[in-house]
Amino acid sequence: MSVQLDAQGNLRHLLTTEGLPRELLTRILDTAGSFSGVIGKSVKKVPLLRGRTIINLFFEPSTRTRTTFELAAQRLSADVLNIDVASSSTSKGESLLDMLRNLEAMQCDAFVVRHADSGAAEFIARHAAPGVAVVNAGDGRHAHPTQALLDAFTIRHEKGALEPLTIAIVGDILHSRVARSQIHALRGLGAGEIRAIAPRTLQPRGIEQLGVRLYEDMDAGLEGADVVIMLRLQRERMRGALLPSEGEFFSRYGLTEQRLERTHPQAIVMHPGPVNRGVELDPRVADGPRSVILQQVTNGIAVRMAVMSMVLGGQGEAAPASIEEVAG
């Protein structure tokens, strides 16, 4: 998708991890690594986005994602406004574009968008005023790029280079924007082997073409894995007869200590949260020594700081060979 990159290949918006060049993905993770040092200072802020305004535009409820976006913006010294649209003006019949124009008239610099419809963030990016950046915080079943990037960051931080790793993604792959974005990001970063473990009814068609190995049997899929990413089971989907019951799902696809023994002895366990305990994960695994679920939350702040500082950074006329020469 070209709308998210400018002519020089710099990040203008972040809408999806699909098609992002490896060099840019690596740059986002490296920048995030640098931001994670900010949290260790006595002043946990940098003045990078002072005077800029970021609007969190959430058409779908979210606690963790919105909070970490908000904290990330504040640690960059930006002003942040949270708009919960479900209870706001679209219910008064205001169209999305009207709302966008009104918010732009308030001189904002970026929108962080979550929406139940696939493609909503791209729609906003295409219609936003020049210079206004859009970051997708989850759109329908399509993409959740910052979640995928923070997962990649966490994997790289815990396990080092991605090339030798076997990464298993388990659960409702079909409906998961997180899984889709993870697969694109991990592929783009050169991860060794990506496995998708799901019941046949929740396996998206054509996913093998992305270089993913499909497993219906969880034990086989976990064999020797270095990283296990459990997806959140959307309870509302259960009613659609795709799965008989939560109990049966757990017995076939829940991650227990016993199943974890099939993985590499140093394997880590991840989950985008919030965890349905006893549905995707045995609580002993969720709270166990292999779990990096809370590290994912912490890393989410640094990764979102990196993304926002990149989409809101000017692109200059031409990249200088060395910053020292420009300002010394």
Given phi > 0 = left and psi -120 to 50 = alpha, else beta, which region is 171?
left
By C-beta, is 110 or 196 nearer to other proteins? 110
Structure tokens at 323: 């910053």
Nearer to other proteins, 276 or 309 (CB): 309
The amino acid that residue 50 corresponds to is R
CA-angle at 207, arms to 204 and 254, nearest 5°: 60
Instruction: Consult the annotation and say whether 147 binds a ligand.
Output: yes
Paired with 128 in beta bridges are none
Annotated ligand binding at 160? The verdict is no
The least distance separating other proteins from the CB of residue 75, rounded to whole angstroms, comes to: 10
Reduced to 3 states (helix: H, G, I; strand: E, B; else coil), residue 112 is strand
Annotation-wise, does 92 bind a ligand? yes
Decide if 82 contacts 51 (C-beta within 8 A): no
Spatial strand order in the sheet of 79-84: 79-84, 53-58, 110-115, 133-139
Nearer to other proteins, 143 or 152 (CB): 152
Per the document, the length of the chain is 328
Least spacing, CB of residue 46 vs other proteins, in Å: 4
Of 241 and 323, CB closest to other proteins = 323
Residues of the shown chain interacting with other proteins in the complex, contacts defined by CB under 8 A = 10, 27, 30-31, 33-38, 41-43, 45-49, 52, 76, 309-310, 312-316, 319-320, 322-328
Q: Least distance from C-beta 21 to other proteins, angstroms? A: 13
> Is residue 52 a known part of a binding site?
no
Annotated binding-site members: 64-65, 92, 114, 144, 147, 177, 232, 273-274
Annotated binding-site members for L-aspartate: 92, 177, 232
